[in-house]
């Protein structure tokens, strides 16, 4: 297996794939130990049966395809391609549900770039199986409501009705490995990685504070917070959709280890406390 990008999700997938019996190599910009440099991945492509890319497209397009599109098209052993995309491709749905069969309707540039990348990676479906994973809000150890609370940056945004899905890092890894292990013919499918209970941000922060045993931060009116938001934050709050993943779980034969933020936050806290005690 070759993973383009051993970042937060890529490293978790690598660990899960090794545990499942795969031989894994991943790319990094600096070529740290156990990886290959992104600009020197030709040999790894030639040896790969499974390729996963975690890199987001930029204004110039998909960076992996820009550098290695031809090499991947000619990879002699390639059986499976996975692309970690985003639920941003569904655009704003005014709080309504979407699922794996809902047509994409991106309302922002980053969503349109994601759609273009999905289409490009789906092109490999004429020679191998391709899975497009559309990820909801990613969280896990080191990337959760706990971090802001402990750093004194926590806040509860008061925007009633703005619910959204999340997906724990380890459930992403579990889904990717489950998909890779299936024997499927050539072709492309869409898989939604989103938990079972879309929730308002303020509710999640309150639960994190409860688990820490601290008072939750005060509610902040969305209208008051909007002027100081970054462009990325503004783009997030501009869209409201609920993402279903029942078809994905059925197709992969799995259930989420962390079906809601409650189980996920509890596991993160247990892990972080265990690390400190260790």
Around Cβ 140, how many Cβ atoms within 10 Å? 22
Torsion angle of the four alpha carbons 123, 115, 81, 38, in this order, in degrees rounded to the nearest 10: 110
Supply the DSSP symbol for 221: E
Task: Give 190-204 pLDDT, tens digit per residue.
Answer: 999 999 999 999 999
Q: Is the pLDDT of residue 276 over 60?
A: no
Q: CB under 8 Å to 212, separation ≥6 — which residues?
A: 146, 149, 150, 269
Indicate the range of 21-30, 42-51, 111-120, 128-137 predicted with least confidence. Answer: 21-30
Calculate the CA 224 to chain-centre distance: 30
Mean pLDDT (whole number) for 270-275: 82
Q: What is the pLDDT of residues 207-220, one digit of tens each?
A: 999 999 999 999 99
Rounded Cα distance, 62 and 65, in Å: 6
Distance of alpha carbon 91 from alpha carbon 31, whole angstroms: 36
For domain 2-277, give the CATH number: 3.40.50.720
| Residue 3 and residue 26 in contact, taking contact as beta carbons nearer than 8 Å | yes
């Amino acid at each position: 297996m070759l993973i383009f990008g051993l970042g937060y999700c890529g490293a978790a997938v690598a660990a899960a794939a090794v545990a499942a019996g795969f031989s894994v190599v991943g790319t990094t910009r600096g070529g740290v130990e156990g990886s290959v440099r992104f600009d020197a991945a030709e040999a790894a492509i030639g040896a790969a049966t499974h390729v996963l890319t975690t890199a987001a497209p930029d204004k110039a397009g998909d960076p992996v395809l820009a550098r290695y599109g031809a090499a991947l098209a000619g990879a002699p052993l390639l059986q499976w391609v996975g692309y970690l995309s985003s639920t941003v491709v569904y655009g704003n749905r005014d709080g309504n549900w979407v699922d794996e069969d809902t047509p994409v309707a991106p309302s922002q540039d980053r969503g349109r770039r994601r759609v273009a990348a999905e289409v490009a990676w789906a092109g490999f479906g004429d020679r191998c199986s391709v899975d497009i994973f559309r990820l909801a809000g990613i969280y896990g150890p080191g990337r959760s409501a706990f971090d802001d609370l402990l750093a004194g940056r926590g806040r509860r945004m008061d925007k009633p009705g703005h619910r959204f899905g999340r997906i724990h890092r380890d459930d992403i890894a579990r889904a990717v490995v489950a998909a890779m292990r299936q024997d499927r013919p050539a072709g492309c499918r869409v898989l939604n990685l989103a938990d079972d209970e879309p929730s308002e941000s303020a509710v999640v922060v309150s639960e994190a504070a409860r688990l820490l045993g601290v008072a939750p931060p005060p509610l902040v009116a969305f209208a008051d917070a909007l002027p100081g938001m970054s462009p990325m934050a503004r783009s997030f709050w501009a869209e409201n959709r609920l993402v279903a993943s029942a078809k994905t779980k059925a197709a992969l034969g799995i259930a989420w280890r962390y079906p809601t933020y409650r189980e996920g936050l509890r596991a993160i806290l247990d892990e972080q406390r265990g690390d400190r005690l260790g």
